[in-house]
Structure 1
Amino acid sequence: MNSSAVCAYIGIGSNIGDREHHLLQSLVMLGCHPEIEVTGQSRIYETDPIGYVDQEPFLNMTAELATTLSPEHLLSYMLSVEQQLGRIRDIRWGPRTIDLDMLLYGSAQHHSDDLQLPHPRMLERAFVLVPLIELVSLRDPAMAEWLALHLEKLDRKEGVSLWKKI
């Protein structure tokens, strides 16, 4: 990846079918794009659903990308990956094979109908913050500390646990 690449963080979640496979396959598909390099990934966490709670638990993780794509083009590619992995959008916050959310794109602030950066609800969700802090701490300890302060304020931290295969 060339020196003009931007560091972006993507939240990834799945709660239908082989959840781990969907997470890992999305990373492979993201990395297959010539303008995206997956430069880091958090551990995988099992999380309770929020919003629409009558569904199976999620597996969630965060990926760090180096990309020369614009935020809009990266989002478009992420939506393509979701579609290829069978994502159906019928219930808001409902079950899904894969969910890819752009959390951060460098220091960009972007507000359009299709994309808001930083992600507007990222600081309200432990299932986003826990793996994001894990990953960001490797590159930017000050930002990780700031994110951890937001995590401390949340009530639902107990719904996030490190996932282990039995």
Structure 2
Amino acid sequence: MPTSQEIVYLSIGSNIHPRVANIQRALRLLRALPAVDVRATSHWYETEPWGNREQSNFYNVSVALTTRLTPDQLLAVCHQIEQDLHRQRLVHWGPRTIDLDIIFWGARKIRTATLTVPHAQAAHRNFVLLPTQEIAVGDDLVAPQVAQMIAQNQDQSWIKKVRNVSELDD
């Protein structure tokens, strides 16, 4: 993946029915944005809930994109997509119709009141690191960050690559 323009990586997940449709709709909404160019999408993964494990399993994907948006503008877009898909923030690490997180933005380090990049918990989450590693191959800015985080990661939760999205049950 060329690095002449910074590649931004998002993690997208859902564990509330219909999980597949929720993620597909979020991807369509991202692709429809004129200021966003989706470059790659990882395989889909079924994953054990992280944090609060008393809930349904998640489906997760990582997305690589370029954008003309600022980090704060992209964060606002992610929050709008979550709102459009009826995300409710009722329980910390609880069930969600959709979750979009900015994980990496090239080599940038961002720390504001509303956004931390690399994502503050990325280094501790298989469901973020493994799908991102899959699509960051060749990205000289992000692939080394992901490899270092994976080497130090102690997350014991299971993660299973899905071969065919059409076979997923919701």
Q: Same fold (TM over 0.5)?
A: yes
Identity of aligned residues (%): 33
Normalised to the residue count of structure 2, the TM-score between the two structures is 0.87
Matched, 1:63 2:63: yes
CA contact (8 A) 1:46 1:160 kept: yes
Alpha-carbon displacement from aligned partner over 1:109-144 (angstroms, at most 9, x marks no partner): 11111001111111111110000000001x326843
Does the 8 Å contact 2:22/2:85 carry over to 1? Answer: yes
Q: Does 1:114 align with 2:114?
A: yes
CA 1:157–1:132 in 2, change beyond 3 Å: closer, same or farther?
A: farther
Within 5 Å, which residues of 2 pair with 1:119-134? 119-134=119-134
Structure 1 alignment gaps of length 5 or more: none
* Cα offsets for 1:87-118 (capped at 9, x unmatched): 00110110001000000112221111100111
Provide the residue aligned with 1:80 in structure 2. Answer: 80
* Aligned pairs, number: 162
TM-score (norm 1): 0.89
Q: Partner amino acid for 1:8?
A: V
Say which structure, 1 or 2, has more relative contact order (CA 8 Å, 6+ apart).
2
Ranges in structure 2 where 5+ consecutive residues have no aligned partner: none
Does structure 1 retain, via aligned residues, the 8 Å contact 2:124–2:154?
A: no
Residue matched to 1:144? 143
Q: Deviations over 1:4-62 (max 9, x none)?
A: 96421000000001211111111110111110111110000000011111100000110
Distance 1:145 1:104, change over 3 A: closer
Shift of 1:163: 2.2
- The CA distance in 2 between the partners of 1:75 and 1:18, in whole Å, is 24
Give 1:148 deviation, angstroms.
3.1
Distance 1:120 1:91 in 2: 19
Q: 1:142 to 1:31 in 2, by over 3 A?
A: closer
In the alignment, the residues of structure 2 paired with residue 146 and residue 5 of structure 1 have an alpha-carbon distance, to the nearest angstrom, of: 17
**RMSD value, Cα:** 1.9
Q: CA deviation at 1:146?
A: 4.8
User: Do the aligned residues in 1 keep the contact of 2:124 with 2:155 (CA within 8 Å)?
Assistant: no
